[in-house]
Amino acid sequence: MPSLIWKEWHEQSWKLGFGCVVLVAMAVIGLRSRIIADDSMIAWVCFLGMVLLPVLSASGLVPAERSEGSFASLLALPVSRWRILAAKTAMGLVLCAGPMIAAALGSLLVAGGREMTSAQMLALYARSTASGILLFIWMLALTIRLPNETRASLLGIGVLIFWIVATLGLAYQSVPPLAMTVSPLALVYGFFNDIAGGPPLIGVLAAQIAIAIVSWWWASRQIAAEDRS
């Protein structure tokens, strides 16, 4: 397993650096220049991270390796496929969370307690990071059998657009508030808008973790069945 993680780190670490540079630069420059209110600036940074990082991670982990041809070599090693997926998932989580954590620290240093309290700022980053991770799991499960990074990215963007539109639809008054718990964006939506009569944060989190586990299990089933059936 450490060997697999070492490999993933070497292959994906440039994305971590890229994500950190983009988000930290956006947060620091945006907050220092004060072109818009702090909460709006941070919301934009969070939105960018939530959109960019899961697509970048999910498309680069399996489909990119498949298109390079080395994925077959990886599957032929004496290592279980769930370990391969676990290493890739761990790297994906780092890619989704790392730049957000860096941006959160940068934001705290530049504007912590200025217009937003530090706790509010961290809460928004935490919810956005969680939503990004949940989107990543969705994208991982849906793109794992795709043959290349381009198709995976397009599907990832499709998933993203679907959930943005669906979340707005689920928030409609005629839809029971409980339905909102299926959306990976519910955590962020709930930060800005009260979901009257909806489940508490802990309930949304529990539902989302359950969905993520099922999605990951489905992804592992797909990778286990690959070429074997």
Partner 1 sequence: MNDSPVIEMRGVAKSFGSKAVLRGLDMSVSAGQTFALLGRNGAGKTTAIRTLLGLLKPDAGEIRVLGLDPAHAPLEVRRRVGYVAEDQTMFGWMRVGQLMSFIAPFYPTWDATWARELSERFELPQKTRMKHLSKGQQVRVALLLALAHRPQLVVLDDPTLGLDPIMRKEFLRDLVTYLQGERVTVFFSSHLLYEVEPVADAVVILDHGRVVRQAATEDLRASVKRLVAGTEGAEVLRGLPGLLDFSDHGRQVSAVVQDIASARPVLANAGIAAQEIDLNLDEIFEAYVIGRTKERPDAKPDLERVA
The contact set with partner 1 (CB under 8 A) reads 2-3, 6-7, 10-11, 68-70, 72-73, 75-80, 227-229
Nearer to partner 1, 71 or 136 (CB): 71
Task: Name the DSSP class of 195.
Answer: -
The 10 Å Cβ neighbour count of residue 36 is 13
Tokens found for residue 124 = 């928004």
Nearer to partner 1, 84 or 111 (CB): 84
Distances (CA, A) of 186 to 4, 101, 130, 134: 33, 20, 10, 11
How near is the Cβ of 224 to partner 1 at its closest, in Å?
11
The 10 Å Cβ neighbour count of residue 162 is 12
Nearer to partner 1, 76 or 202 (CB): 76
Burial class of residue 207 in the structure, from the number of CB atoms within 10 Å of its CB (0-12 exposed, 13-18 middle, 19+ buried): middle
Tokens found for residue 76 = 């032929």
How near is the Cβ of 66 to partner 1 at its closest, in Å?
10
Nearer to partner 1, 38 or 65 (CB): 65
Our measurement of the distance from residue 224's CA atom to the centroid of its chain's CA atoms, rounded to an integer in Å, reads 23
In sequence order, the 6+-apart residues with CB closer than 8 A to the CB of 156 are: 54, 55, 58, 59, 139, 142, 143
How near is the Cβ of 228 to partner 1 at its closest, in Å?
5
Distances (CA, A) of 12 to 5, 44, 75, 87, 92: 10, 24, 19, 12, 9
How near is the Cβ of 226 to partner 1 at its closest, in Å?
10
How near is the Cβ of 93 to partner 1 at its closest, in Å?
22
Nearer to partner 1, 5 or 211 (CB): 5
Nearer to partner 1, 70 or 150 (CB): 70
How near is the Cβ of 82 to partner 1 at its closest, in Å?
11
